[in-house]
Amino acid sequence: DSGVTQTPKHLITATGQRVTLRCSPRSGDLSVYWYQQSLDQGLQFLIQYYNGEERAKGNILERFSAQQFPDLHSELNLSSLELGDSALYFCASRDRDTQYFGPGTRLTVL
Amino acid sequence: AQSVAQPEDQVNVAEGNPLTVKCTYSVSGNPYLFWYVQYPNRGLQFLLKYITGDNLVKGSYGFEAEFNKSQTSFHLKKPSALVSDSALYFCAVRDKDNAGNMLTFGGGTRLMVKP
């Protein structure tokens, strides 16, 4: 158990809908990273927050957004969902040089 | 830009034999290198990392990796494979000077250990 929690574990929704994925970092970690794992794109970095501020952006679509709250949990919002958004979404928190990953949220868009 | 290549989609090895999972990387500066393992329906588990110092790094579950700067490689090794080592392995890199610390992952290598 990495200490990073993610909810929900599974999410099934329809095209055009909006969902919110939640992540709680390990106790004491200020950074949260979001990654997407899909069969065709592999593991890709989406976005990073540090202590409530956006720090870096990767291959994140404009339909996706994230935020980090004062208690350091983070939410990833995915809107206008398409079939191709079906993937496993991971968050990670960082302790010094090492990122520790949560169990992921599997999103299925039908 | 940083990138990682894992040239083998799958590695097959018999239980008790040594295993190697290959990784090569490209960064503009000094690399920080990582190996993660993913079991079915689970998240990524950290195995080991190279930051600086000794080129041979030891990690969890008996795994080790050797950093080779001239060959820009960071191959994962284990002297004696177990069936329970069967999983998906990812190599990742970040540039030491990358302020965001985001990782770039290879495509993954599926390790199959047969009894």
DSSP string for B20-43: EE--EEE-SS-EEEEEEEE-TT--
- Beta carbons of A2 and B99 less than 8 Å apart: no
Number of domains in chain B: 1
Other CB atoms within 10 A of residue A53 CB: 9
State the Cα angle at B75 between A60 and B81, rounded to 5°: 110
Confirm if B31 and B54 have CB atoms less than 8 A apart. Answer: no
Domain of B59 in residue numbering reads as 3-114
- Distance, in Å, from the CA atom of B16 to the CA atom of B80, rounded to the nearest integer, reads 5
- Beta carbons of A100 and B107 less than 8 Å apart: no
Could you tell me the strand order of the sheet in which A5-7 lies? A5-7, A19-24, A74-78, A64-68
Q: What is the mean pLDDT of each run of 10 residues along chain B (115 residues)?
A: 94 98 93 94 92 92 96 97 97 80 92 97
Residue of A nearest to B35 (CA): A98
- Beta carbons of A98 and B46 less than 8 Å apart: yes
- Mapped onto helix, strand or coil, the DSSP state of residue B60 is helix
Percent share of chain A, pLDDT over 70: 100
Distance from CA of B15 to the nearest CA of A (A): 26
User: What residues of chain A lie within 8 A of the CB of B106, using their CB?
Assistant: 42
- Beta carbons of B103 and A99 less than 8 Å apart: yes
CATH (domain of B105): 2.60.40.10
Report pLDDT digits (tens) over A14-63. 999 999 999 999 999 999 999 999 988 899 999 999 999 999 999 899 99
- Distance, in Å, from the CA atom of B102 to the CA atom of B109, rounded to the nearest integer, reads 21
pLDDT at residue number B99: 64
Of B45, B99, B105, the CB nearest to A43: B105
Under DSSP, the state recorded for A28 is: T
- Beta carbons of A55 and B99 less than 8 Å apart: yes
A96 has a pLDDT exceeding 90: no
Q: Could you identify the residue written with the tokens 């968050």? A: A91
